[in-house]
Amino acid sequence: MNLNFTMIAQAIAFAILIWFTVKFVWPPLLNAIEKRQKEIADGLAAAQEGKLSLEVAAKKNAETLNEVKQKGAEIVSQAEKRASEIVEQAKNVANEEGDRIIASAKSEIDQEVNRAKEELRGQISTLAIQGAEKILDKEIDKKIHADMLTKLAKDL
């Protein structure tokens, strides 16, 4: 174990080996690893961003849904209101129509009644004359007594 030239040779070999590592081994490994680290960091950041935008979108969705629901409810309530209005209107119209029909029917009935009364009056006067003729047993001049009979019929 005496010191000799070996140690100088080993030192030179050592120097060459270090130079080789510094020059050719370390840089590509460092580059690859740092690049991958950056890629991973970028990927994570992108994922985070995506998550954030997803959250925003979900929030927006919920807002829109709420708005739509509200609008829908509004429309429904308006429609209900309109429907009840229409029903009310229809009722009024129907009532009026009914009243009108009833009124016209009443007037028609009145007319009919009057007409029947007229007819009855005429027939009654004829009957009365015939009865009187039979009772009196004597001919009565229709022409002379016509005025009196008409007056009688009117009183009936």
Partner 1 sequence: MADSSYNSPSEYIGHHLSNNELHLDFLGEGSFMTLHLDSFVMAVILGVLSMGLIWLVARKASAGVPTKTQAFVELIFSFIDDQVGNIFHGNRHSFVAPAALTVFIWVLMMNAMDFLPIDIMAKFYAMLGLYEWKAVPTSDVNTTFGLALGVWFLMIYFGIKVKGMGGWLHEIFCAPFGSSVWVWPANFLFNLIEYVSKPLSHSLRLFGNMYAGEVIFLLLGLWAATGVSGIIFGSILGAGWAIFHILIVVLQAYIFMMLTVVYLSMAHEGH
Residues that bind partner 1 (CB under 8 A): 1-11, 13-15, 17-18, 20-22, 24-33, 35-36, 39
Asked if residue 120 lies in contact with residue 154, where contact means CB atoms within 8 angstroms, the answer is no
64-76 burial code (b ≥16 CB/10 A, e <16): eeeeeeeeeeeee
Find the radius of gyration of the CA atoms of the chain: 61
Which residue, 10 or 107, is less far from partner 1 as judged by CB? 10
Which residue, 40 or 103, is less far from partner 1 as judged by CB? 40
- In the complex, the smallest distance separating the C-beta of residue 1 from partner 1, rounded to whole angstroms, is 5
- In the complex, the smallest distance separating the C-beta of residue 39 from partner 1, rounded to whole angstroms, is 6
Give me the residue label for tokens 């119209």: 93
- In the complex, the smallest distance separating the C-beta of residue 48 from partner 1, rounded to whole angstroms, is 21
User: Which tokens hold the place of 15?
Assistant: 């120097």
